[in-house]
A and B are shown apart, each in its own frame.
Chain A
Amino acid sequence: MATAEGSGDWGLVRLVTGAVDTARRGGFAWLAVGAAMALSLIGIYSIDVATQLEPTGLQELSGPALRQLIYLAVGLIACITVAIPNYRVYGYASGVLFAIGVVLLIFLLIPFVPTSIVRPRNGARAWIDLGPMDFQPSEVAKIGYVLLLAWYLRFRKNHRTIGGLLPPAIITGIPVALITLQPDLGQAALFIPALFAVLVAAGAKLKHLTVIVLIATMAAPAAYPILKPHQKERFVGLIKQFTGDESSSQDINFQSVGAQRLAGAGGVEGVGDEHARVLLHFNALPERHNDMIYAVIVNRFGLVGGLAVLGLYLVWFIGALGTAAACREPFGRLICVGLTGFIAAQVAINVGMNLGLAPIIGITLPFVSNGGSSMVTVWIMCGLILNVALHRPSYSLRKSFEYGDDE
């Protein structure tokens, strides 16, 4: 965890003691970091398997795998950078961070921005072209959003009444609406479980939340008619799969059926490195290094590998939520919970997509899927959790806190 250049002997001593202290204080957060690291490495290997027919070993990773390795490096640097300042700084800056995210999201929707900067991809204006790396503002918005939400909800009065739930609803509504307009329904949908996770953790009345969930569940079908045709198609496709209708396996269900086929082909122990590359190449599953990477992993490592990856996520959740539990003040806790909400939702949806349980809606698998924005974002999230773990508030601060375990 050495980042600063040593300045003489004194610096070296501080570095060593600091490292020991950091390791001790990090606690649960290290579980999350470790799991994230393992997932990232599995990801890089799987991307190589998915994109290169000839096994060439670690010396010669395929282009995307190599890039992913660089993203991981960038992600780790971002993680450490984010972990250094006391996270309360982010609290004060949360409004500004959130606003930056919103501005970027609005920028994407400005009609006259040339396609060289915002080139629609898979039908959505979700990306800003930065030359070497494309950048997805909705990822940044997630972080600003969690910070602002946590910053607001650290006051108890803010969430114990139904009226107090209105500002969180607005904070959520703005990015969700902007992302929906891109349209990137999948990304937009991730905010909802994150919001609920934060609300539950913040101590909002379960009764209120239950009512909201019930209303939303009942209202959801009403939203179907306003979906775009290609979005409707995905739901129709999923329903067809559930009902055993194979008529669409060559068109709208092509990707889903292909992913399931490759995952299933992995069997219990996987088909091995060489054969996985062959199968993946000639089965030509679209986006296999990306949204469909889980199918690649299961193909390569079988049921065992699939379960191991799920297990690593479980470890990550435990690490993140454990950090929240160890944290004695609400802002830090809520950050951890909110971020976990995003990751958990993403995992459930992405793996569901790969296994034919969820519609294909362009959600990446955190730490594993190929992609710079996604990789850096999840590692920043990791950094924030680590930050919360490392910066235990001093006793005096704790005393004056608004949130109490007085129930």
Chain B
Amino acid sequence: MFIRRLLLLLAVMAAPMVALTMQLYRLTVVRGDELRAEAEQRLVRRQWTPTVRGTILDRKGRILAQERPSYDIAVDYRVLTGVWVRDRALRAARRSVGAGWVELKAEARDSLVDRYLPVYEAHLERAWDRIALTAGIPREELERRKSAIVTEIERRHADIAQRRRGAEIEAARARGDALTDAQLRQIDRRAAQPIAEQRAPHVVAARVGDSVGFAFQLLVGEEAELELPERDTAGMDVVDRVELLPGLQVWDGGDRDYPLETVTVEIDRSSFPGLLRAAATQKVTVDGVGLHMLGRFRDRVYREDAAAREGYLEEHPAVKAAAFASGVDRGAYRDGDRIGETGLEKAQEHHLRGLRGMRTRRLDTGEEEVLEPVAGRDVQLTVDAMLQARVQALMSPEVGLSIVQPWHGQESDTQPPGTALNGAAVVLDIDTGDIIAMVSTPTYSRDQLINNPDSIFEDRVNLPFINRAVSKPYPPGSIIKALVLAGAIDRGNYSTAQRIACTGHAFPNNPEMFRCWIYKRYSTTHSVTFGNDLDGSDAICASCNVFFFQLGRRLGVDGITEVYREFGVGERWGLGIGDFEFPGTIGADNDPSKLAVGDAMQMAIGQGPVAWTPLHAADAYATLARGGVRMTPRIVMGRERSEPVDLGLDPRGIAMAMDGLYRAVNDDRHSTGHHITFEAGREKIFNVPGVRVWGKTGTAEAPDLRIDPDGDGPQPPVTVKKGDHSWFVVLAGRDRPRYAIAVVIDYGGSGGKVSGPITNQIIHALIAEGYL
């Protein structure tokens, strides 16, 4: 029996060996290759080397934005304060006793921690020396910076704790709670919780150059083995692997230089209107040139950014193949990366970004394989930076064209004379569809962005961060009339031989509605001033509302909607300078189906439920100038866009519209855009010798700008701006129209008086830059 039982025991003892053998077979044979590869992978270390973001150029090859390799060397706050030392020592002490830790008395713990402190203190000391040496700054300077950071963050923490505490006590009082000591202590504890800055790295060496940054890059993630004052069960020295330079981060600061961010231009004021005219030239310095288009960055990368990159790579297999050449995406976002947040930097992010280089090092042999970084691709804009600067200068308040002037005739209590006016201007090359200037005022500067962002983002009245040229909806106003005329003739709703009477108001028995401006202001009609009824050309020249009310009625909702659509309302251009392209809308929620014929009549004079942007205006006029051929405007050179489309408009309609536009700025009797009357006499608006101008004024009624000072609070909104938006759109050229220029001034009033002189000066600017 005993022998039997021994055999039984042997069997029982051997049984686990069967399972172990099977598992051994599984690991070594079935998964052997896979696990071998995994283990080998650990012999390899990868390090990234930075790439260079692409340069942004203007149409003449001037550099607008260029990468200056630069890095910020940041160190974790806990390392800065030295808390890291205690953390590590505590961790080592805990690890040495494991679960028994909880049973130790506080003193026992402290004495255990104290054993480990010197190891980490010495290591950190060495690390700081190394950082100072690598960064090329004296150790004392580094200490000074460290303490400056810590002092600042602690001050901020104290402030915030104070505020949190105050708010909590306030809230408790408001609830009518009496606070016990225990509750107060709890509040104190909550208030004293660390702030985000206390968990984040802080820059100890800002904007260091290429070689220093690279030297640091190589040190990131390097480890050091610290010998701890203990031995393990086998009597081996216990080592703790820590970062060589604890908490070190190298931020690819990639300083972007903007050589044309600030430009000084000389303005010749001899062609200025009225009292603004002067013999001497004026030097005007403008900041933030093209900033709306170029855009800005943010330092934080979100998950959406990675998803966006993936989407882009899926659509561009060739780019993807290049990015993954070494098995991992070398263009992938990593912490500390900058990413375009707005404008071109955002829209062209993937184009500009480039691929990192990679250094692969075999730890056992020291072999290195270097994959060079691929610089980001350059982007060239169609914009002429100097023209852009000039237009921006012309629209800056100090020049005087963009502030409320007494002769503007603006009767608005919200904007007394001298008030700066906001607006936008677009200059479009008719032959190519290239945008050669696009200005939105007020502009902001990169300096403001860094030092006083509130002045940009908290300005709810002027919205400096908006690119009005493409983002802000405006009622088109009278500038639409030329397009409506061409559309009506094309559809047979009006023939060039017809004349329509201006009766002052569209409905004979209702003088309160659908009135002509001339009736409103002078109680007369265009039929009287012309001495006969009007044809289409007359109607554009004099901007007769009644004529166009009739066309609107004839076109109906469908017809007028078609006209607007034909000229580009409701479509985004896909310029590639950000998401904020307002496509233009017809009807509430861009749904024309609920509109009535009254709406169609309003839309025929550019009022009612319709909105577009200055770029729409310039684009539509360029289409007209091309004889009805639409070309998608372009701001990024070489960007794919749809082929030009010939709308097939009736040439008679286009000819009549162009004739009307010519007369609207050249007819000295009837037109609205020919001259401004000053006390000293009339002055022609357009005074560039040898340049022919076609154009149309617009004085578009707009809702008052009201700002609710306390959000949705009890106070009523305050009206901050009143009046009409001032439009002027022209086509200019020596022989034929070459450039389309659209100018709008928010709440500026009269199109002719306010936008007219600016438009005229833009033509002068085109000449100064060699365009006309």
Given the known inter-chain contacts A134-B233, A264-B34, A321-B9, please indicate yes or no for A115 contacting B108, CB distance below 8 A: yes
Q: A314 to B34, alpha carbons, bound, how many Å? A: 30
Structural contact, A124 and B98, CB atoms closer than 8 A: yes
B304 within 8 A of A: no
Structural contact, A201 and B6, CB atoms closer than 8 A: yes
B residues 1-42 with Cβ under 8 Å of A?
A: 1-3, 5-6, 8-10, 13-14, 16-17, 19-21, 23-25, 27-29, 31-36, 38-40, 42
Across the interface, which residues of B come within 8 angstroms of A228, CB to CB? 99
A residues 102-140 with Cβ under 8 Å of B?
A: 111, 115, 119-125, 127, 133-134
Across the interface, which residues of B come within 8 angstroms of A111, CB to CB? 103
Across the interface, which residues of B come within 8 angstroms of A262, CB to CB? 35, 39
Chain B residue, CB-CB nearest to A231: B99
B112 within 8 A of A: yes
Q: A203 to B2, alpha carbons, bound, how many Å? A: 7
A residues 303-337 with Cβ under 8 Å of B?
A: 303, 306-307, 310, 313-314, 317-318, 321, 324-325, 333, 337
From B25, B99, B230, A123 is in contact (CB under 8 Å) with: B99
Q: Which of B16, B19, B27, B99 has the most CB of A within 10 A?
A: B27
Structural contact, A203 and B1, CB atoms closer than 8 A: yes
Given the known inter-chain contacts A201-B6, A325-B2, please indicate yes or no for A119 contacting B235, CB distance below 8 A: no
A96 within 8 A of B: no
Interface size class for chain A? Answer: 35 or more
Structural contact, B40 and A279, CB atoms closer than 8 A: yes
Across the interface, which residues of A come within 8 angstroms of B20, CB to CB? 310, 348, 351-352, 355, 357
B364 within 8 A of A: yes
Across the interface, which residues of B come within 8 angstroms of A253, CB to CB? none
Across the interface, which residues of B come within 8 angstroms of A271, CB to CB? 36
Structural contact, A289 and B236, CB atoms closer than 8 A: yes
A residues 266-282 with Cβ under 8 Å of B?
A: 266-268, 271, 278-279, 281-282
Q: A197 to B42, alpha carbons, bound, how many Å? A: 44
A residues 217-246 with Cβ under 8 Å of B?
A: 228-230
Across the interface, which residues of A come within 8 angstroms of B234, CB to CB? 47, 64, 67-68, 289-290, 370-371
A88 within 8 A of B: no
Q: Which of B1, B17, B43, B241 has the most CB of A within 10 A?
A: B17
Structural contact, A200 and B23, CB atoms closer than 8 A: no
A residues 287-312 with Cβ under 8 Å of B?
A: 287, 289-290, 298, 302-303, 306-307, 310
Structural contact, B23 and A265, CB atoms closer than 8 A: no
Across the interface, which residues of A come within 8 angstroms of B364, CB to CB? 278, 281-282
From B36, B43, B97, B101, A119 is in contact (CB under 8 Å) with: B97
Q: A262 to B35, alpha carbons, bound, how many Å? A: 7
B612 to chain A, nearest CB (A): 53
Structural contact, A357 and B17, CB atoms closer than 8 A: no
Q: Which of A281, A333, A355, A371 has the most CB of B within 10 A?
A: A355
From B3, B19, B233, A290 is in contact (CB under 8 Å) with: B233
Structural contact, B236 and A200, CB atoms closer than 8 A: no
B265 to chain A, nearest CB (A): 59
Across the interface, which residues of A come within 8 angstroms of B8, CB to CB? 200
Structural contact, B99 and A267, CB atoms closer than 8 A: no
Across the interface, which residues of A come within 8 angstroms of B10, CB to CB? 317-318, 321
B711 within 8 A of A: no
A107 to chain B, nearest CB (A): 15
B171 within 8 A of A: no
From A230, A266, A287, B99 is in contact (CB under 8 Å) with: A230
A390 within 8 A of B: no
Q: A97 to B731, alpha carbons, bound, how many Å? A: 111
A283 within 8 A of B: yes
Across the interface, which residues of B come within 8 angstroms of A263, CB to CB? 24, 27-28, 35
Q: A355 to B23, alpha carbons, bound, how many Å? A: 7
On chain B, the number of residues with a Cβ less than 8 Å from chain A's Cβ atoms is 50
A356 within 8 A of B: yes
Structural contact, A348 and B100, CB atoms closer than 8 A: no
A225 to chain B, nearest CB (A): 16
Across the interface, which residues of B come within 8 angstroms of A178, CB to CB? none
Structural contact, B2 and A405, CB atoms closer than 8 A: yes
B105 to chain A, nearest CB (A): 9
B594 to chain A, nearest CB (A): 54
B89 to chain A, nearest CB (A): 16
B527 within 8 A of A: no
B47 within 8 A of A: no
B3 to chain A, nearest CB (A): 6
B477 to chain A, nearest CB (A): 62
Across the interface, which residues of A come within 8 angstroms of B96, CB to CB? 119-121
B residues 350-390 with Cβ under 8 Å of A?
A: 363-364
A312 to chain B, nearest CB (A): 11
Across the interface, which residues of B come within 8 angstroms of A230, CB to CB? 98-99
A65 to chain B, nearest CB (A): 10
Structural contact, A324 and B16, CB atoms closer than 8 A: no
Structural contact, A282 and B363, CB atoms closer than 8 A: yes
B42 to chain A, nearest CB (A): 5
Across the interface, which residues of A come within 8 angstroms of B13, CB to CB? 317, 340, 344, 348
Structural contact, B98 and A120, CB atoms closer than 8 A: yes
Per-residue CB proximity of B221-265 to A under 8 Å, as 1/0?
000000000101111100001000000000000000000000000
Chain A residue, CB-CB nearest to B3: A325
Per-residue CB proximity of A14-41 to B under 8 Å, as 1/0?
0000000000000000000000000000
Chain A residue, CB-CB nearest to B95: A122
Structural contact, B97 and A260, CB atoms closer than 8 A: no
Structural contact, A303 and B28, CB atoms closer than 8 A: yes
Structural contact, B6 and A321, CB atoms closer than 8 A: yes
A392 within 8 A of B: no
A407 within 8 A of B: yes
Per-residue CB proximity of A179-217 to B under 8 Å, as 1/0?
000010000000000000100110100000000000000
Chain B residue, CB-CB nearest to A277: B364
Structural contact, A264 and B27, CB atoms closer than 8 A: yes
Across the interface, which residues of B come within 8 angstroms of A261, CB to CB? 35, 38-39
Across the interface, which residues of B come within 8 angstroms of A282, CB to CB? 42-43, 363-364
Across the interface, which residues of B come within 8 angstroms of A306, CB to CB? 24, 28
Q: A155 to B6, alpha carbons, bound, how many Å? A: 18
Chain A residue, CB-CB nearest to B115: A115
From A201, A289, A348, A407, B9 is in contact (CB under 8 Å) with: A201
Across the interface, which residues of A come within 8 angstroms of B31, CB to CB? 264
Across the interface, which residues of B come within 8 angstroms of A344, CB to CB? 13, 16
B288 to chain A, nearest CB (A): 47
A51 within 8 A of B: yes
Across the interface, which residues of A come within 8 angstroms of B101, CB to CB? 120, 123
A173 within 8 A of B: no
Q: A324 to B24, alpha carbons, bound, how many Å? A: 31
A residues 337-393 with Cβ under 8 Å of B?
A: 337, 340-341, 344, 347-348, 351-352, 355-357, 370-371
Q: Which of B8, B10, B101 has the most CB of A within 10 A?
A: B10
A63 within 8 A of B: yes
Across the interface, which residues of B come within 8 angstroms of A64, CB to CB? 234-236
> Which residues on A are within 8 Å of B, measured CB to CB?
47, 51, 63-64, 67-68, 111, 115, 119-125, 127, 133-134, 183, 197, 200-201, 203, 228-230, 260-268, 271, 278-279, 281-284, 287, 289-290, 298, 302-303, 306-307, 310, 313-314, 317-318, 321, 324-325, 333, 337, 340-341, 344, 347-348, 351-352, 355-357, 370-371, 405, 407
- Interface CB pairs A-B, < 8 A, 11: A47-B234, A119-B97, A200-B9, A201-B5, A201-B9, A267-B33, A283-B42, A303-B25, A325-B2, A355-B23, A356-B23
> Which residues on B are within 8 Å of A, measured CB to CB?
1-3, 5-6, 8-10, 13-14, 16-17, 19-21, 23-25, 27-29, 31-36, 38-40, 42-43, 96-101, 103, 108, 112, 230, 232-236, 241, 363-364
Q: A120-B101, A262-B35, A283-B42 are in contact. List 13 more A-B contacts (CB 8 A).
A: A115-B97, A119-B97, A122-B98, A123-B98, A261-B38, A266-B32, A267-B28, A279-B43, A306-B24, A314-B17, A337-B6, A340-B9, A344-B13
Closest 4 CB pairs of A and B: A123-B98, A264-B35, A123-B99, A120-B97
